[in-house]
Chains A and B, each alone.
Chain A
């Protein structure tokens, strides 16, 4: 036979359980940071092939190609962050105003694949996917991922951070990647010919199975140059304090 207190507890148990679950849901639904964010969103409609420049300071930049001819730029920013826009013909510049407070701005951008892309950042990772236009990236403290690229020119410079490239090389293309502190991890199709110039100051160079078909100009441990298959696109890789890794797709 149940006591009076046990019976009342059992009656209230389902209600208490629901209350606890709702409290947990409310806690998890709260934003991870207490700082409020503002939203920037703009659609641009270039008439021809656009030249898009994003100049950020602190935050991520994610760019991916889509099948529309418009450019969609969205950003979640800290309240103190000011974004300026300038559009002259098909040249579009979006810049975060520099201030010593350095609020965060995270960009999500969709572009036509053939857009000419220039990305500048100080702190924050950069991610570009499935783009076919020329790319230039200039950052200080960023990991850079370039996936599914089919661009004629790629120029990436970071002071600290890893650069990951997985894409195709054009016949007369130029691909230059430099990191002062960080690794360069490059994946290209096995059948792609290229001219390679890989240099490192205090890191290592590992060309994997590409080395067996590399007709060399130089084969020093920290300075390798040569032609793979019949040569063609220029692949220039420089890592001062980091590894250079070449993989076959």
Chain B
């Protein structure tokens, strides 16, 4: 891969969104390439400054305007297409022999049975929570997770307010280690989402959260 290709990956690398193999490749390249390191540092600066921007809340009338525009575009078209489809279906002449009829009935029975089995399974599976991890928080205490996330948000905000006064070495150390922790946390969430019943994955994720808190607490007092 050439530098241009690596530079396209740097943004996702910073956000902890790369797969492990890509992440290793990017890190290796950054170790050897000064221009790409400069791009990374610039992006980190942009992320840092964008966090400092004040939030802009859209006006309450905005959603109403969007909704009205969408409503104008759709209804006639959609209902007209549905009517046409029904008319065409009724116009079809279905002539089935007895074996064909039996096969259709058997296929329909199988489909309905599978559907019932799936429905039963879904109804016993706990609902997906806001973090998108189906059932993952049944073993991990949700209270623990919420407390950790609140702690992380509070510490992160405090650090973002002070970070601009730090010397470059301290800031670079913080940002580099934050990337490492966020990458591990993203990977943990991925694993827990794929294997919600895996206790080892959940324990790793909980410890990753705790490591993030430890990192933030380490820098918060500056």
In the complex, what residues of A have CB within 8 A of residue B180's CB?
159-160, 180-181, 240-241
Q: Which of B68-76, B110-118, B161-169 contacts A (4 or more CB under 8 A)?
A: B161-169
B211 and A157 within 8 A (CB)? yes
A122 and B204 within 8 A (CB)? no
In the complex, what residues of A have CB within 8 A of residue B191's CB?
201
Give the docked Cα–Cα distance between A101 and B165 (Å).
9
Within 8 A of B (CB), among A91-112: 98-102
In the complex, what residues of B have CB within 8 A of residue A199's CB?
200, 203-204
* A202 at the binding interface (Cβ < 8 Å): yes
Within 8 A of A (CB), among B73-101: none
Give the docked Cα–Cα distance between A100 and B161 (Å).
13
Within 8 A of A (CB), among B131-187: 162, 165-167, 169-170, 173, 176-177, 180-181, 183-184, 187
For the side of the interface on B, what is the size category?
A: 20 to 34
* A141 at the binding interface (Cβ < 8 Å): yes
In the complex, what residues of A have CB within 8 A of residue B219's CB?
122, 140
In the complex, what residues of A have CB within 8 A of residue B200's CB?
199, 218, 220, 223
* B119 at the binding interface (Cβ < 8 Å): no
Give the docked Cα–Cα distance between A20 and B33 (Å).
40
Within 8 A of B (CB), among A56-100: 58, 98-100
A180 and B181 within 8 A (CB)? yes
How many pairs of residues, A versus B, come closer than 8 Å at their CB atoms? 81
B211 and A180 within 8 A (CB)? yes
B187 and A201 within 8 A (CB)? yes
A98 and B221 within 8 A (CB)? yes
* A138 at the binding interface (Cβ < 8 Å): yes
* A123 at the binding interface (Cβ < 8 Å): yes
Give the docked Cα–Cα distance between A201 and B222 (Å).
31
In the complex, what residues of A have CB within 8 A of residue B204's CB?
199, 201, 238, 240
A140 and B184 within 8 A (CB)? no
A240 contact from B165, B208, B222, Cβ within 8 A: B208
Give the docked Cα–Cα distance between A141 and B219 (Å).
12
A202 contact from B166, B187, B211, Cβ within 8 A: B187
A141 and B214 within 8 A (CB)? no
Given contacts A159-B180, A240-B204, contact A99 B187 (CB under 8 A): no
Given contacts A140-B215, A159-B215, A202-B20, contact A100 B165 (CB under 8 A): yes
Report A6 CB to chain B, min CB distance, Å: 51
Report B163 CB to chain A, min CB distance, Å: 9
A201 and B173 within 8 A (CB)? no
Report B156 CB to chain A, min CB distance, Å: 15
Give the docked Cα–Cα distance between A141 and B214 (Å).
12
Report B179 CB to chain A, min CB distance, Å: 9
**Taking CB as reference atom, which chain B residue is nearest A240?**
B184
B interface residues (Cβ-Cβ under 8 A, vs A): 20, 162, 165-167, 169-170, 173, 176-177, 180-181, 183-184, 187-188, 191, 200, 203-204, 207-208, 211, 214-215, 218-219, 221-222
Q: Top 5 nearest A-B pairs by Cβ distance?
A: A240-B184, A181-B180, A159-B177, A202-B20, A102-B170
A interface residues (Cβ-Cβ under 8 A, vs B): 58, 98-102, 122-123, 138, 140-141, 157, 159-160, 178, 180-181, 199, 201-202, 218, 220, 223, 238, 240-241
Name 29 A/B residue pairs within 8 A (Cβ), A-sorted. A58-B170, A98-B222, A100-B170, A102-B166, A102-B169, A102-B222, A138-B214, A140-B173, A140-B215, A141-B177, A157-B211, A159-B181, A159-B211, A159-B214, A160-B180, A178-B207, A180-B180, A180-B184, A180-B211, A181-B177, A181-B180, A199-B203, A202-B20, A202-B184, A202-B187, A218-B200, A240-B180, A240-B204, A240-B208
Extra A-B contacts (14), CB below 8 Å, given A160-B180, A181-B180: A100-B170, A102-B166, A122-B219, A123-B170, A159-B177, A159-B181, A180-B180, A181-B184, A201-B184, A202-B20, A202-B187, A218-B200, A238-B207, A240-B184
